Structure formats: structure tokens, C-alpha cells
Structure 1
Amino acid sequence: MTTLIIPIFNAKNIISKDFLETIKQYATFLDQVIVIDDGSCDDSASLFDGIDVDIVSNKKNLGFAKSVNIGLSMNKSKYVCILNQDCLIPSDWIRNAESFLDDNQKTAAVSGLILNKKGQIDTAGHMLWSDWVCTERFSGMPGKKICQAEEVFGLSATATVYRYAALKQAAVETEFFDESFGTYLEDVDLNIRLRHLDWESWIIPGDPAIHERGSTGVRHILKVRKKGTSNYLKIVFKNLSDNERMSASLFCAISFFWGFLKDPLAATFNPGDSTRLNIWREVIQNRRVCPEDKMKKWICGFRLNPFRRKG
């Protein structure tokens, strides 16, 4: 019923024994486990020796979006779970998600509470602000137990189970995640496209996952910071209607200026291929079925207000 996709990159000192033991258990009953080695130079794939997984080795680093798309193109299951190399999920995580998706046919994506190593909340889904930036709900707050399922605007691709039919519907040409994003905000972009098609995302009860957030090289951090503004503006250009862009323009400008003051490097902008952007925008807007008012209900307010807790 479910295929598990794990993109990895230079993970030999990141992937834990507990992670490998969990994957070994999942491999005994899932349809397929696909590991995408994204051009690692530390022989990361050898960690999975003796585990029933299919390994795809990219000749060079292609980024998270492209790597996951490769795995999704191989999928033949009804559901697909995307799992980060530094996130440890409970043994019943996928089974619980399958049951919820079976019972809720309008749901595209399901996850549970994800904590960090300190026991604080890493993410409880995404919340949308008036500048169309998404942040992690309750991030940094003390971990709490989820007692009942709760609909959220969208989910982080850290450890989420998706309905494959919904991903196919949200794809543009053969891309489920926009490959021009590389490794930043690609899940937010997908969340908005799913919402446009009236698909839902839910957080469900159960034992939490632990996101260890493995150490990252300085060069990679700088690369991600530079991609941030470009990918954010791509999201606004592709996914927002003319009216939504008009309403959000002031908040976007304030957010951009505030971000530049905090981190000038993060404001570096490379729009990429304008023809490609226009094609994506046309496809997304033409097939959109979710009205603007319904999307607007998810906007929590002005993001720079530190007292906003709504999510």
C-alpha cells in the first residue's frame, strides 16, 4: 500500500543505528523502500547493506526536490512516505497514516507531531502568514501530545505520508516537487498546489517522530540562504492569483526588507528561467479549484507580530 522514499546525502555520520533498525522493520511489510543517494562522497548507501531497499545513486548532487521526484517516478503504491535521513519515526507511523488516508478521501498528506532532540516541537505542520511565508507551527515550544487529528495548512516533507493520486494531480508535467527549488521551500510550494486543488493536510495522534537535524556544512548553509528569497518569490509568482498578489504585495515587501536587514545574503535573488516560471503559473492557475476566500482562511496574520500563536 505504501512506498517509503529516503533521500540521503553524505549521511554516514548522520544516520543512526536506530534509524537503520526502523527502516529494516518497515522494509518487511511496505511495498518498497527506495533510497536515493544524492551524489554522496562518503559511501552513505553502504549503510543500508543487508536491508531490503532499492538504491538509486545520483552521479552528482541534484538536490532534495529532484531526488524525491526520481523516487516518486518509481512508485507503484497508493501512498508514499517521504522521510529525511535525520528523522526517526515510530514503528506505527506509516500504518497510522495509511488508516487515516483510507478513511478520509479528501486528504492528500498526513503526518504526526515531530520533536527535536531536546523534546521541543520541531513542527506540527505549516502555518501561513499574510506575506505567504509558511513557518513551522509551535516550533521551539515544549512537546505536547496530540489527542485528536487536526487539519493544518500544509506539512513539512520531513516525514509525511502522501496520497500518490494527489501528488500526480498537483504535479506539473513530470515534476511533483519543483526541481528548480533544489533544497528549500519545495514542500511549501507543493502544499499550496495541493490546497489549490482542494486537498487537505492533517496532523494525527500517535507517538512523535524525532528530527535530529544532522550537522550541515557552511557552504551548504550559504547556498540554502541564497536560495531562500528566490524560492519564496517563485512561490508568490506561480501560486498566487492576481488578487492575492495585490493583497499580499505590501506584506511581501515588508517581509523582504526585514529579511534583508537581518541577513543581506539571504536576500540574493536569482529568478531563474522566466519562461519556465510562466508555464508553471499558467498550469497552476488554470486548474485551480479552491476559491480565494477559502485559501484566505488559513492566513494567520502579519508574520512580524511575535505574539501571534494562531496556527
Structure 2
Amino acid sequence: MDLSIIIVNYKTEELTSNCIDSIIKSNTRGLCYEIILVDNASDDGSIEAIEKQFPEITIIKNSENLGFSKANNIGLAVAKGDYILLLNSDTIVDLDTLKGALAFIKDHKHIGALGCKVLLPSGKLDPACKRSFPTPMNGLYHSLNLDLAFPESTRFGAYNLTYVDENKTCSIDCIMGAFMLVPRAVVDTVGMLDEDFFMYGEDVDWCYRIKQAGYQVMYYPEVRIFHHKKASGIGKRNPKVIAAFYDSMIIFYNKHYQNKYNRFTRWCVITGTTIMKKMALAKNNRRK
């Protein structure tokens, strides 16, 4: 089998259905693929509705919400494809994206992970689709919005590579988990997603390990998807989701950077991230 597409669902019936429908309606002529949908214990009837609408796909129903990383790993464990695509449920695949991405990665054996151009509903680029690894300094510049103030600066714009042409194919540090195409052989080499990341950060960690193993992470804007980012989180959000976002930064730092920087830098990173987490939770609590 050429391709296994893994999608995680959690109470997003309409988004997930639209995503699956876009895959089925895309150009997959000559492509042998499977769709594996892993449901994280949705109790809103969404998985039952999707199961009825798409009886041809493989559905795995978890008895509890295991998080994004673990759910994807469950899908990875049963996937039969030579290539694995992690695809967010809140995305729409363009007509030639699957065939185009697969053809490109097959022709470039040095690629360990391939990302595409990711467009927001506004038509603008989702900046997270091409990134550097989050070092303490570029993380600080990003937090201070210096990358927005000086997008052409290689220093201030390193976090989201704002100075890199969004239409240029290039080797980068990190792509986003919304669309992440990885050869099965690479998964066998570096291992699956780190389940310490409940959600957020698992894609950055995977890219880091893939590059450590000697592969390239590639941004390929010749194909694209549309990303309804945070579409299921409008208004007051789940505090667990907010906490997971900031906790992922600390997990990544402790795992990969703890021995690269001095104690003062580590204190600044941990303290700063903890303060931002508390502020975000407080702000969310004030929302109606």
C-alpha cells in the first residue's frame, strides 16, 4: 500500500467529515491508500455519524481521550502504507496534494518528513507550517512579536522563518502536524510520536528526532491544504488544552535543550513559560 492517512477525531463531526470527503474527492487515481480515523472517546455522536457516512474507512474508537500523540500512534501501529500522513481533522486537502506530495517524497530519499503550504480560511499562510526549532532566543523574539515587526530579519524572524519565501521549496527545521508526510522506514528508525506530549509539540519533537537521524525536513509549497485552525476552540477554551500548549514547551526544552544552555537560561525559559501559562488560563477564565 502506498499511503496511510491518519486522522484524529474529537467531537468534530463536521470538520472531520469535510476532511475525509476532500480526500476521497481529490485526485487519487492509481494511488493505493487507506484512511485510519482514531476517535478519542467523543461522546457527542460524531464518530457514529462519521462511521455511517464513510463505512469504507478504518475507525478505531478509544475508550478515553488519550491525546493527540497517543491517538496517532495507535493509528501508526495498524497502518499498512509505505508512507504515513498525519492529517488534522480541521483541514481540507486540495485536489492534487496527496499525489503531488507522495511523488515528491518518493523522488527524494533524503527527506524524512514533508510538509506542504498550509493556508488559513483567510487565504493567508499559516506561519507555523515552516519553522525553526524553538530556541530560547527565537522563542523570546516571537513572544515579543519582533518577527512581525521585522519579518525580513533572519534574527528576529527565525521562529516562523518569516524571511523565507512561502513559495520556495526548502529544507527547514520543522513542519506542522496538520500535514506531516513521513516514510514508514523513517518511523521505524526514529520511533513514533512521544506520548509525553498530550497535544502540541509532538510534531516539533518528531522533526527534531528525524533531523538527528540524518534526514531532512522539507517544506514543499507546490501542494497545499486549507486549515481551519482552532475552529473547534472558538470562545472559552478547555483549560487542559491551554495548559498542554505551554507544558509542551517545557517538555521539549527539558528533553532536548537542558544540557545546551546554562541554569539561568533554563530558569528564564521555565519561569517565563509558566507565567505565560497562568496568564493565558486567567484570560480564558474571564471569557464568557
TM-score by length of 1: 0.72
Moved more, 231-240 or 38-47: 231-240
- 1:126 is aligned with what amino acid? R
Residues paired across the two proteins, number: 255
Give the aligned partner of residue 62 of structure 1. 66
Q: How does 1:46-57 map to 2 (within 5 A)?
A: 46-48=49-51, 49-50=53-54, 52-57=56-61
1:254 paired to 2:274 = no
Aligned residues: CA RMSD: 2.8
Shift of 1:226: 2.0
Give the aligned partner of residue 82 of structure 1. 86
Give the aligned partner of residue 32 of structure 2. 30
Q: How does 1:1-311 map to 2 (within 5 A)?
A: 1-15=2-16, 17=18, 19-25=19-25, 29-45=31-47, 46-48=49-51, 49-50=53-54, 52-122=56-126, 123-131=128-136, 137=160, 146=167, 148-171=168-191, 176-213=192-229, 214-216=231-233, 221-240=238-257, 242=259, 244-246=260-262, 249-264=263-278
Shift of 1:138: 5.7
CA contact (8 A) 2:12 2:232 kept: no
Aligned-partner Cα distance in 2 for 1:222–1:89? 30
- 2:44 is aligned with what amino acid? D
Aligned-partner Cα distance in 1 for 2:210–2:264? 25
Shift of 1:96: 1.7
Give the aligned partner of residue 288 of structure 1. none
CA deviation string 1:218-264 (max 9, x = no partner): 7853112323443322222323473x244xx5444334444444442
Point out 4+ residue stretches in structure 1 off by more than 6 angstroms: 132-136
CA contact (8 A) 1:236 1:245 kept: no
Aligned-partner Cα distance in 1 for 2:12–2:66? 15
Distance 1:75 1:211, change over 3 A: same
Shift of 1:133: 7.3
Of all paired residues, the percent bearing the same amino acid is 20
Structure 1: gaps of 5 or more residues:
268-311
Aligned-partner Cα distance in 2 for 1:130–1:207? 29
- 2:24 is aligned with what amino acid? K
